[in-house]
Amino acid sequence: MQTNKYILGVYDNPDKIYSTTKKLINKGYKVDDVYSPFAIHGMDRLLGIKRSNLTVAAFLFAMTGLTLAVTFQVYVSKIDWPMIIGGKPNLHIPTYIPITFELSILFTAFGMVTCFFIVNRMFWGKNADIIDPRVTDDLFVVSIQIQENKTDIQALNQILVENGALEVRERIKD
Amino acid sequence: MSYESPIRDQLVTGGKTYRDVTRDVTRPLENAPSKSWWIGFSISTLVLALWIGATTYTVFVGLGAWGLNKTVGWAFDITNFVFWVGIGHAGTLISAVLLLFRQKWRMSINRSAEAMTIFAVICAASFILSHMGRPWVAYWPIPLPNAFGTLWVNFNSPLVWDVFAISTYFSVSLVFWYIGLIPDIATVRDRAVSKARKFWYGFFAMGWNGSTKTWHRYEVISLILAGISTPLVLSVHSIVSMDFATSLVPGWHTTIFPPYFVAGAIFSGFGMVLTLLIIAREVMNYKDYITEAHLDAMTKIVMVTGTMVGMAYITEFFVAAYSGVEYEQYAFLNRAFGPYWWAYWTMMTCNLVAPQVFWFKWARTTPWFIFIMSIIVNIGMWFERFVIIVTSLHRDFLPSSWAMYTPTITEVSILIGSFGLFFFLYFLFCKFLPTINMAEVKSIIPTHHEDHGHNHVKGENHAN
Amino acid sequence: MEHAEVHIKEEKFEISSGNKKWAFGLMIVGFLLAVIGYFTYHPHIEGLNEHDLHHLTQKRLWSNLLVNGYFFFIVSICAAAFIAISQIANAGWYVAIRRIPEAMSEYTLIGGPILVIVSLFALPILYHWAHEGIMNPESANFDAILAGKSWYLNVPFFYVRMVLFMSFWMFCAHMFRKYSRKEDLEGGMTNYTKTYALSATFTVIFGFTFSMFSWDQMMSIDAHWYSTIFSIYNFATGWVSALTIMYLFTHYLRSKGLLNIATDEHQHDLGKFMFAFSVFWTYMFTAQFLLIWYANIPEEVAYYKERLFGSYQFLFFFILVLNFCVPFFIFMRRDWKRSRKVGYIVGAALLLGHWLDVYLMVMPGSMNLATLPTAENPGGIIKVPFQGFGIMEIGFLCLFAGLFLWMTLKALTKANLYPTKHPYIMESALHDVGV
**pLDDT at residue B461, as a whole number:** 39
Q: How many domains does chain B have?
A: 1
CATH of residue A149:
3.30.70
Task: Indicate yes or no: CB of A18 within 8 angstroms of CB of C1.
Answer: yes
* pLDDT mean over C412-428: 88
Tell me the shortest Cα–Cα distance from C1 to chain A, in angstroms.
6
Tell me the shortest Cα–Cα distance from B300 to chain A, in angstroms.
29
Task: Indicate yes or no: CB of C426 within 8 angstroms of CB of B311.
Answer: no
Q: Write the single-letter amino acid at B444.
A: I
Alpha-carbon span B156 to B135, nearest angstrom? 23
Strands C368-370 and A140-147: unpaired
CATH of residue B291:
1.20.1630.10
B402 domain-assigned: no
**pLDDT at residue B371, as a whole number:** 93
∠ CA C211-C212-C215 to the nearest 5 degrees?
Answer: 90
Residue C389 predicted with pLDDT over 50: yes
**A38 and A23 in a common domain:** yes
Residue B40 predicted with pLDDT over 50: yes
**pLDDT at residue C30, as a whole number:** 93
Alpha-carbon span C271 to C338, nearest angstrom? 8
CB C369 within 8 A of CB C381: yes
Final residue belonging to a domain, choices A92, A119, A146: A119
* pLDDT mean over A119-132: 84
Task: Indicate yes or no: CB of B171 within 8 angstroms of CB of A109.
Answer: yes
- Percent of all residues in chain C with a pLDDT value above 90, rounded to a whole number: 56
Neighbours, chain C (3 or more CB pairs < 8 A) = A, B
**pLDDT at residue B449, as a whole number:** 44
Three-state DSSP at A171 gives: strand
| Closest residue on chain C to B215 (Cα) | C435
* pLDDT mean over B312-330: 90
pLDDT in tens, B341-383: 999 999 999 999 999 999 998 889 889 999 999 999 999 999 9
* pLDDT mean over B305-312: 92
Q: Which of A17, C428, C56, C67 is nearest to B210 (CA)?
A: A17
Domain span holding position A59: 54-119
- Percent of all residues in chain B with a pLDDT value above 70, rounded to a whole number: 95
**H or E element at residue A97:** helix A97-119
Alpha-carbon span B113 to B90, nearest angstrom? 7
| Averaged pLDDT score across all residues of chain B | 87
Residue C431 predicted with pLDDT over 60: yes
Q: Out of A55, A87, A94, whose CB is closest to C290? A: A94
Alpha-carbon span B223 to B231, nearest angstrom? 13
Q: Is residue B261 very low, low, confident or very high in pLDDT (cuts 50, 70, 90)?
A: very high
Interface of A with C in 141-170 (CB under 8 A): none
Interface of A with B in 95-154 (CB under 8 A): 95-96, 98-99, 101-103, 105-106, 108-110, 112-113, 116-117, 119-131, 133-138
**pLDDT at residue C430, as a whole number:** 84
**A156 and A71 in a common domain:** no
Interface of A with B in 43-62 (CB under 8 A): 43-44, 47, 49, 51-52, 54-55, 58, 62
CB C426 within 8 A of CB C8: yes
Residue B452 predicted with pLDDT over 80: no
**pLDDT at residue C234, as a whole number:** 95
| Closest residue on chain C to B260 (Cα) | C229
**A111 and A63 in a common domain:** yes
Tell me which of A41, A100, A102 to substitute to probe the interface with C (most C C-beta atoms closer than 10 Å). A41
Q: Is A25 on the interface with B (CB under 8 A)?
A: no
**pLDDT at residue B463, as a whole number:** 37
Sign of CA dihedral B279, B284, B285, B290: negative
* pLDDT mean over B180-203: 89
* pLDDT mean over B132-161: 83
Task: Indicate yes or no: CB of C297 within 8 angstroms of CB of B248.
Answer: yes
Q: Which residues lie closer than 8 Å to A14 by C-beta, 6 or more apart? A: A36, A40, A140, B1, B447, C1
Q: Out of B1, B246, B457, whose CB is closest to C291? A: B246
Q: Is A71 on the interface with B (CB under 8 A)?
A: no
Domain span holding position B216: 18-143+151-394+407-463
pLDDT in tens, C246-298: 999 999 999 988 888 888 889 999 999 999 999 999 999 999 999 999 988 88
Task: Indicate yes or no: CB of B223 within 8 angstroms of CB of C429.
Answer: no
Residue B458 predicted with pLDDT over 60: no
Residue B36 predicted with pLDDT over 50: yes
Three-state DSSP at C52 gives: helix
Q: Is residue B45 very low, low, confident or very high in pLDDT (cuts 50, 70, 90)?
A: very high
Buried b / exposed e across A23-54, counting CB within 10 Å, b at 16+?
ebeeeebebbbbbbbbbbbbbbebbeeeebeb
B277 domain-assigned: yes
B97 domain-assigned: yes
Task: Indicate yes or no: CB of B168 within 8 angstroms of CB of A40.
Answer: no
- Percent of all residues in chain B with a pLDDT value above 90, rounded to a whole number: 47
Residue C138 predicted with pLDDT over 70: yes
Task: Indicate yes or no: CB of C229 within 8 angstroms of CB of B324.
Answer: no
Q: Where are the domains of chain C?
A: 17-429
* pLDDT mean over B111-124: 92
Sign of CA dihedral B283, B288, B294, B296: positive
- DSSP annotation of C90 reads T
* pLDDT mean over C91-107: 91
**pLDDT at residue C380, as a whole number:** 67
Alpha-carbon span C282 to B187, nearest angstrom? 43
* pLDDT mean over A58-82: 91
Tell me which of B2, B359, B447 to substitute to probe the interface with C (most C C-beta atoms closer than 10 Å). B2
**A40 and A62 in a common domain:** no
pLDDT in tens, A98-109: 999 999 999 999
Three-state DSSP at B16 gives: coil
Residue B448 predicted with pLDDT over 80: no
Structure-model confidence comparison of residues C135 and B204, the more confident one = B204
B385 domain-assigned: yes
Alpha-carbon span A67 to A59, nearest angstrom? 12
* C-alpha dist (Å) from residue C431 to A14, C90, C94, C97: 20, 14, 9, 12
Residue B241 predicted with pLDDT over 80: yes
- How large is the ipTM? 0.91
**pLDDT at residue B2, as a whole number:** 62
Residue B454 predicted with pLDDT over 70: no
Task: Indicate yes or no: CB of C291 within 8 angstroms of CB of B247.
Answer: no
Alpha-carbon span B165 to A94, nearest angstrom? 16
Q: Write the single-letter amino acid at C186.
A: E
Residue A80 predicted with pLDDT over 60: yes
B13 domain-assigned: no
**pLDDT at residue B42, as a whole number:** 94
**pLDDT at residue C26, as a whole number:** 93
Contacts of C432 in chain A (CB under 8 A): 41-42
Q: B136: how many CB neighbours lie within 10 A of its CB?
A: 8
Q: How many domains does chain A have?
A: 2
Q: Write the single-letter amino acid at C15.
A: I
Q: B183: how many CB neighbours lie within 10 A of its CB?
A: 25
Q: Out of C8, C272, C295, whose CB is closest to B461? A: C8
- Percent of all residues in chain C with a pLDDT value above 70, rounded to a whole number: 96
Task: Indicate yes or no: CB of B223 within 8 angstroms of CB of C2.
Answer: no
Three-state DSSP at B11 gives: coil
* pLDDT mean over B388-399: 90
Contacts of C294 in chain A (CB under 8 A): 86, 94-95
CB A90 within 8 A of CB A77: yes
Q: Write the single-letter amino acid at A158.
A: Q
**pLDDT at residue B149, as a whole number:** 64
List the alpha helices (DSSP H) in B284-366: 292-323, 326-337, 341-348, 361-365
Q: Write the single-letter amino acid at C269.
A: D
**pLDDT at residue C321, as a whole number:** 95
Residue C228 predicted with pLDDT over 50: yes
| Averaged pLDDT score across all residues of chain C | 89
Alpha-carbon span B210 to A36, nearest angstrom? 5
Alpha-carbon span C91 to C88, nearest angstrom? 8
Residue B453 predicted with pLDDT over 60: no
**pLDDT at residue C224, as a whole number:** 87
Residue C331 predicted with pLDDT over 60: yes
Please tell me the pTM assigned to this model.
0.92
